[in-house]
Amino acid sequence: MVAELLQFLVSGLTVGAVYALVALGFTLIYNASDVVNFAQGEFVMLGGMVTVFATAAGVPLPLAAFLAVLATVAVGLLLHRLAIEPARGASAVTLIIITIGASIFLRGVAQVAFDKRFHQLPGFSGSDPIPLLGAAILPQSFWVLGGAVLIFLGLWLFLERTLAGKAVRATAANRLAARLVGVDTAKVLALSFGVSAGIGAAAGVLVTPITLTSYDVGTLLALKGFAAAMLGGMGSPLGAVVGGLMVGLLEALGAGYVSSAYKDAVAFLVIVAVLFALPQGLFGRSGVERV
Amino acid sequence: MLEVQALESAYGRIRALKGVSLHVRSGEIVALVGGNGAGKTTLLRCLSGVRPAGAGRVLFEGADITRWTPHRRVAAGIAQSPEGRQVFSPLSVEDNLRLGAWRRGRAETACGIEKVFAMFPVLAEKRALPAGGLSGGQQQMLAIGRALMSRPRLLLLDEPSTGLAPLLVDRIMETVAALRRDAGVTVLLVEQNAVAALSIADRGYVIETGRIGQFGTGAELLHDPAVRKAYLGL
């Protein structure tokens, strides 16, 4: 009973951490530009796929993972430079449609450059489950959770403790005022794309030993990450983390106690219910401010 | 110091500025007064570079800055305290100020923050609180202080008196006058509150529906019958 619940909780937190990282990527770009970047899932896919193909080519795993993150950051920056920046001044809806196009494009390129099959990476610390209170935990789960915590901490320190991070938050709070004090908001947006791509890629590297990867895993991840971001409240980094973990837990508990066929339905039903009661999400801006 | 030549700007098909020309000399306080929708805020946004100019030129100290990015203008010495205060609500008062000096060194920033606190002691008491929780008057002080952090030579003030009690309006106007007197900052002051603005201004312009109407010294405009009737409600 306890073992079963623990099993569900750990697998829920593991997949939830990945959703949280995807949601964090959405949040960063949304805050800098009001754009929901639907190519966010492709960043996760690229992280996993580049690592798979680099290791297959004989590159040691840590170096392959590093290269994958680096390559994905480059893709994120190029996406901003070639697709978003030229459309500067267009409405957020136009830019969102551009990111959907970019997502389809990246999937197509991945299909040609890699292949259409599923791939797996070996677990970083082997794949023998660790017994814990009767449950069997994959060592890779700890890698995912630990990696996610490190990324959250790093991002938190950057946003709260550095002047550049504060400029990012200022841009999110009031873009006009940020431009008036001399913050180059185009650079902030480029930075957001780079960081979001890096976070997504890291998530992809960490989770591939558990969930497999292929050229089209990004679509569902982006959907789940987006749902997580909405649940937490679009624009709130804390909300993204909580929302991601909640979606993961709901899925795992739904699969465990209801039916694995309906695990997505259970998660989305709860999200609909929460948003019905709290349209701004759990940590969304309430819109109330003293003037 | 600042010369605006036949500046035009439009929102879609609506022409907000229809060829505005004015100039501000070094060390002056110049008031730009006019009603709602006359184009005052649009003009200031064009001057800061956050709105593109459709036609015309903006010269700052002889250089044509019409196409410069906003951050380049801040670096050149133009700062704006925007309409409606627009502080960074979730960030602390001190961080708001720090971002005003975003491109300056650490020591210079610390020194600037102390100067702003000396000017507005109430901000020092609330330095660690989020700016969104300040009262309207305090947010206005913060917005002005933040603009001063970049050590501008030309300060653009957009409607600093909006929503403030008369006593606070006087206080803000005194501060503007003191800035010019003590720090030598040149000021372009945009106001709907024409009496307050013209009383401290050396010269003034009246803007109506995107064009400059009358202009003259502050005292002249204050006593001009047409201006009194249209903008001062007298």
∠ CA A165-A290-B147, nearest 5°, is: 50
Name the DSSP class of B132. G
Interface probe for B, chosen from A181, A187, A290 (most Cβ of B below 10 Å), is: A181
Q: What is the predicted pLDDT for the residue at A266?
A: 79
- Chain A residues near any Cβ of chain B (below 8 Å): 163, 166-167, 169-170, 173-174, 176-184, 289-291
Measure in Å the smallest separation between the Cα of B222 and chain A Cα atoms: 31
Q: What is the predicted pLDDT for the residue at A291?
A: 39
- Chain B residues near any Cβ of chain A (below 8 Å): 48-50, 69-71, 74-75, 79-80, 82, 84, 86-91, 95-96, 98-100, 102-103, 132-136, 146-147, 149-150, 163
Q: What is the predicted pLDDT for the residue at A263?
A: 82
Q: Do A167 and B99 touch (CB under 8 A)?
A: yes
Which of B219, B214, B218, B216 is CA-nearest to residue B230?
B214
Candidates B86, B98, B135; nearest CB to A174:
B86
DSSP string for A178-199: HHHTT--HHHHHHHHHHHHHHH
Which of A270, A230, A235, A234 is CA-nearest to residue A249?
A270
For chain B, how many structural domains are there in total? 1
Q: What is the predicted pLDDT for the residue at A273?
A: 86
In Å, the largest CA–CA distance within chain B is: 51
Residues of A in contact with B99 (CB under 8 A): 163, 166-167, 170, 178, 181, 183
Measure in Å the smallest separation between the Cα of A89 and chain B Cα atoms: 11
In chain A, whose CA is at the least distance from the CA of B73? Answer: A182
Residues of B in contact with A289 (CB under 8 A): 89, 132
Q: What is the predicted pLDDT for the residue at A265?
A: 84
**Average confidence (pLDDT) per 10 residues, chain A, 291 residues:** 90 95 95 92 96 95 96 97 90 93 96 93 89 89 96 94 93 93 93 96 95 92 92 91 94 88 82 85 64 39
Q: Do B69 and A176 touch (CB under 8 A)?
A: no
- Which residues lie across from B15 on neighbouring strands? B10
Candidates B88, B132, B150; nearest CB to A177:
B88
- Which domain does B7 fall in, by range? 2-232
Signed CA dihedral, B120, B124, B125, B128: sign only: positive
This model of the complex carries an ipTM of 0.91
CATH number of domain containing B191: 3.40.50.300
Q: What is the predicted pLDDT for the residue at A133?
A: 85
Q: What is the predicted pLDDT for the residue at A264?
A: 81
Q: Do B132 and A182 touch (CB under 8 A)?
A: no
Q: Do A174 and B87 touch (CB under 8 A)?
A: yes
Residues contacting residue A50 through CB under 8 Å, at least 6 positions apart: A64, A67, A68, A71, A72, A201
> Which alpha helices (H) appear in chain B, and where do they start and end?
40-48, 70-76, 93-100, 106-119, 121-125, 136-148, 166-183, 194-200, 218-223, 225-227
pLDDT digits (tens, 9 = 90+) for B42-77: 999 999 999 999 999 999 999 999 999 999 999 999
Candidates B69, B90, B99; nearest CB to A181:
B99
pLDDT digits (tens, 9 = 90+) for B170-210: 989 999 999 999 889 999 999 988 888 999 999 999 998 88
Measure in Å the smallest separation between the Cα of A205 and chain B Cα atoms: 34
- The mean pLDDT value for B131-154 works out to 93
Enumerate long-range contacts of A146-152, CB under 8 Å, 24 or more apart.
A147/A17, A147/A202, A147/A203, A147/A206, A148/A17, A148/A18, A148/A20, A148/A21, A148/A203, A148/A206, A151/A21, A151/A24, A151/A199, A151/A202, A152/A20, A152/A24, A152/A241
Residues of B in contact with A179 (CB under 8 A): 48-50, 70-71
H-helix or E-strand containing B33? strand B29-33
Distance CA B185, CA B178 (A): 9
Q: What is the predicted pLDDT for the residue at A196?
A: 96
Candidates A169, A181, A289; nearest CB to B132:
A289
What domains lie within chain A, and their CATH numbers? 2-126+137-277 (1.10.3470)
CA atoms within 13 A on the CB side of B135: 8
- Cα pseudo-dihedral A190, A193, A198, A204, rounded to 10: -160
Which of B4, B19, B9, B10 is CA-nearest to residue B57?
B4
Signed CA dihedral, A85, A189, A75, A19: sign only: negative
H-helix or E-strand containing B84? none
Residues of B in contact with A180 (CB under 8 A): 48, 50, 70, 74, 79-80, 82, 86, 147
